Chain A
């Protein structure tokens, strides 16, 4: 009987995706929150908007964002924000969480590149969020009375992936820097908050001074957020697709390379100091 697969990396990727999907499907409450929170936040912000703007709220919103439906604009932004926070927290917490349950060093006993394994975990989370995004976007698009064609859907998925996957690199940096202090979630939450602030999930980045807008250019989710709103919610102006996608791909490589450098350094030290198994 044949024992080993032809494509070992693919086998590992499938293994991680199946495992993550099964675990996530068994935390049904978390799934419900992940899907419904963007709607809840949209409702909250729409309520605040009406309270502040009164009858002029919708007109002001359109004038400031170029989008007629606040529900569509805010829900798209909210879903992307949830995805980015989830990715950063998962990648940051992976060392601690796996150490706590005792599975972390078991991955080092398998014939795999461990950084690749953690990246596969980020891919699994991203796939989950593609599903969440598709479900949320379909609903709000339908409510807004429009539809996306298959090309637009493909584009949307590519943008979501390019926007959130690089954050796994940032998560690995946080993981590597904080694992010894066992305060990873505190740092991950701070990083997530900055990413959320600089991504313009709920507002156009033009509300910030020029310097902040420039800093936001190195945050991949800021580009994803803008492109998605242009494509899905019909913001005026042609999105500079090729240019933005190239920039996002470059940022993705940069973030992931940074994650690899920091993680590899930590890993080498951990194998010397016996920190792979500390919990």
Chain B
């Protein structure tokens, strides 16, 4: 199968400044991408799975020609993203935000017509295409309302409609369901599955492992600017399928306890998600092998200053692959 997107050793560093009042603050260097390489095959739904700040959006922006890489090369639909940027733009549809990217004083239909004109679509084709997309995304009845009256879910769907205007063969969707209610998120997922049925190549970013498992043919797990694993959801999960997983809810959590758990006998990986910084309420996800490990871990938790609230035994998921490989957790699923 041919490559729709090919990324080879792409790196990107940002120089930012922190704080400062009248004059600018301290310099800070952020390595957003470190030698990232992956391939998205034609007709495939490919997910970049990782927490906030992992480098997912930076990758999408480089592939969309909005950002220049510092080093490395990338091709979309066979065109180089730096040397043939115009050709790349003609091949792609991009949805960058869930609830921004519109003129609030125009209706949904008028917004789409504006961008259709910028894509140089012939008027009658544009009108029929817009009608089709509004229907596809369940926005027909709200098409002539001003965008300022739209809910987040409606704006998100309108963003996807805008990305599909010129019927591009390759789509980049950055966190397409973030902040959406379950109904709107389900609709967006249905549309993505329909696009796969039409043979489109979709590269989406998400920190929602459920979404990645449901939608993606293959997934790249990305953390701190590095791709740490690539494969089908099944292949990735097989890395942890032999292990056992518990999720522990604990009040009075501290980082020292987590480090102790990670060093425990039989513990493959452990990571915490703080739910309430004031009370120290946290969820620990622990991947381990053998009953002795569970006994040791529970012993550590019970003898700690924290108060154990609950312990759940779970089936391994993509999140456990992430926990095992990075010692961190993905964000809470939306």
Within 104-127 of A, Cβ neighbours of B (below 8 Å) are at 105-112, 117
A163 to B183 Cα, complex, angstroms: 54
Least CB separation from B119: chain A residue: A110
Chain B neighbourhood of A210, CB < 8 A: none
- Name, among B96, B120, B122, the residue most crowded by chain A CB atoms within 10 Å (CB to CB): B120
Assuming the contacts A15-B117, A102-B100, asked whether A109 and B64 have C-beta atoms less than 8 A apart, the reply is: yes
Q: Assess the A107–B118 pair: CB atoms within 8 A.
A: yes
Interface 0/1 of A58-72, CB less than 8 Å to B: 000000000000000
The verdict on A110 contacting B118 (CB below 8 Å), with A23-B105, A102-B100, A273-B14 known, is yes
| A–B complex contacts, Cβ < 8 Å, 16 sampled | A1-B124, A3-B121, A3-B122, A5-B121, A11-B117, A15-B116, A15-B117, A15-B118, A19-B110, A26-B105, A101-B100, A102-B100, A102-B101, A105-B96, A109-B65, A276-B66
* B residues 77-127 in Cβ contact with A at 8 Å: 86, 89-90, 92, 94, 96-97, 100-106, 110, 113-125
Alpha-carbon gap, A8 to B121, bound state (A)? 8
Contact of A5 among B14, B94, B105, B122 (CB under 8 A): B122
B120 close to A8 (CB less than 8 A): yes
Nearest chain-A residue to B58 (Cβ)?
A274
Query: What CA separation (Å) do A188 and B110 show in the bound complex?
Result: 30
Count B interface residues, CB 8 Å.
Answer: 40
Contact with B along A75-107 (1 / 0, CB 8 A): 000000000000000000000000001110111
- Closest CB-CB distance, B270 to chain A, in whole Å? 34
Choose among B61, B67, B125 the residue with the greatest number of A CB atoms under 10 Å from its CB.
B67
A18 adjacent to B114 (CB under 8 Å): yes
Taking CB as reference atom, which chain A residue is nearest B67?
A274
Q: A270 CA to B128 CA in the complex, in Å? A: 36
Which of A108, A272, A277 is the one whose CB lies under 8 Å from B65? Answer: A108
Q: Are A22 and B66 in contact (CB under 8 A)?
A: no
A4 at the interface (CB under 8 A from B): yes
Which of B66, B89, B125 is A3 in contact with, Cβ under 8 Å?
A: B125
In B34-69, the 8 Å CB interface with A consists of 58, 61, 64-68
A44 at interface, CB cutoff 8 A? no
Q: How large is the interface on A (under 10, 10 to 19, 20 to 34, 35 or more residues)?
A: 20 to 34
**Chain A residues within an 8 Å CB radius of B15:** 273
Asked if B117 and A103 make an inter-chain contact with CB atoms under 8 angstroms apart, the answer reads no
Chain A min CB distance to B79 (Å): 13
Contacting residue for A274 out of B14, B96, B110, CB 8 A: B14
Give bound CA distance, A276 to B61, whole Å: 10
The reply to whether A22 and B110 contact each other, CB–CB distance below 8 Å, is yes
A217 within 8 A of B: no
Contact of B120 among A11, A106, A109, A271 (CB under 8 A): A11
Q: How many A-B residue pairs have CB under 8 A?
A: 101
Contact indicator B89/A110 (Cβ below 8 Å): yes
Query: Does A261 reach chain B (CB closer than 8 Å)?
Result: no
Shortest Cβ-Cβ A-B pairs, 4 listed = A15-B117, A102-B100, A8-B120, A102-B101
**Contact residues in A for B103 (Cβ distance below 8 Å):** 19, 23, 101, 103
Residues of A within 8 A of B106 (CB): 19, 22-23
Q: Closest B residue to A272 by CB, please name it.
A: B68
Bound CA–CA A11/B96 (angstroms): 24
- Cβ B86 vs Cβ A111 within 8 A: yes
Q: Is A31 an interface residue (CB 8 A)?
A: no
For B86, list chain A residues within 8 Å (CB): 111
CB atoms of B114 and A110 under 8 A apart: no
Report if A4-B121 is in contact (Cβ < 8 Å); known contacts: A22-B105, A27-B105, A106-B115.
yes
A135 beta carbon closer than 8 Å to chain B: no
- What are the residues of chain A within 8 A of B116 when measuring CB–CB? 15
B94 cross-chain contacts in A, Cβ below 8 A:
109
Q: How far is the CA of A27 from the CA of B104 in the complex (A)?
A: 12
Q: Is B89 in contact with A103, judged by CB distance below 8 angstroms?
A: no
- Assess whether A108 is in contact with B117, with CB atoms less than 8 Å apart: no
With an 8 A cutoff between CB atoms, is A33 at the interface?
no
Name which of B15, B61, B96, B103 has the most chain A CB atoms within 10 A of its CB: B103
Q: Which of A23, A26, A101, A277 contacts B61 (CB 8 A)?
A: A277
Nearest chain A CB to B116 CB, angstrom units: 8
Given pairs A11-B121, A12-B120, 11 additional interface contacts (CB within 8 A): A1-B124, A3-B121, A4-B120, A4-B121, A5-B123, A11-B118, A18-B114, A19-B106, A102-B97, A271-B67, A274-B58
A1 to B122, CA, bound (A): 9
Tell whether, in the assembled complex, residue A112 and residue B121 are in contact, meaning their CB atoms are under 8 Å apart. Answer: no
- Binary interface profile of B, 112-149, with partner A (CB < 8 Å = 1, else 0)? 01111111111111001000000000000000001000
Closest to B120 in A: A8
Residue numbers in A under 8 Å from B66 (CB-CB)? 105, 108-109, 271, 276-277
Nearest-Cβ distance from residue B93 to partner chain A, whole angstroms: 8
Report yes or no: B118 in contact with A112, Cβ–Cβ below 8 A. Answer: yes
Chain B residue at minimum C-beta to C-beta distance from A106: B101
Contacting pair B117 A101 (CB below 8 A): no
Residues of B near A8 (CB, < 8 A) are 120
Closest-CB distance, B210 to chain A (whole angstroms): 27
